[in-house]
Amino acid sequence: MARGDHIYVNHLVYEHHGIDCGGNLVIEYSKKKRIALVSKQEFSQERDIKVKHYSDDECFPKEFVVIRAYSRLGETAYSLFCNNCEHFASWCKTGHSISEQVPGVIDKILCKAPDIRPIFTTKSIVMTSAS
């Protein structure tokens, strides 16, 4: 597990996701439905932390992932089906707001609006539609 990794813990019926920010810190959608910086202990609640693996060509560089996570600190636009902790972590890692826990049909019906959060590049900020 390393800074910039998309991490998660298994709960009884769902997974909770976040971004490892190094130094024992994680950025997550908290129980208060706010993106927050928390300790790994608070994030994991004594459960084993796992790393979600991606191929290198589908991910931003690890430092960039952390910058993207920090850029959304304090956000309160939580939605179980359209903008949950897994959507957040996958967006930070790949630029695509995806939750494998939300069936595709629900996502297509309930979450029609495009995701237009800024995608940060090393040269500028570019608006894009993430799918």
Q: What is the pLDDT of residues 29-43, one digit of tens each?
A: 998 999 999 999 999
pLDDT at 108 over 90: no
Which pLDDT score is estimated for 123?
A: 38
pLDDT at 79 over 70: yes
Which pLDDT score is estimated for 107?
A: 62
* CATH (one of 3.40.50.410, 3.90.1720.10, 2.170.120.20, 3.40.50.1470) for 6-127: 3.90.1720.10
Determine the Cα–Cα distance for residues 45 and 9; give it in Å rounded to an integer: 9
Q: What is the pLDDT of residues 22-76, one digit of tens each?
A: 999 999 999 899 999 999 999 999 999 999 999 989 999 999 999 999 999 999 9
Which pLDDT score is estimated for 56?
A: 86
Q: What is the DSSP string of the chain?
A: --TT-EEEEE-SS-EEEEEEEETTEEEEE-TTSSEEEEEHHHHHTTSPPEE----GGGS--HHHHHHHHHHTTT----BTTTB-HHHHHHHHHHS----TTS-HHHHHHH--S-B--EEE-SS-EEE--B-
**Entry pTM:** 0.82
Which pLDDT score is estimated for 121?
A: 43
Q: What type of residue sits at position 30? A: S
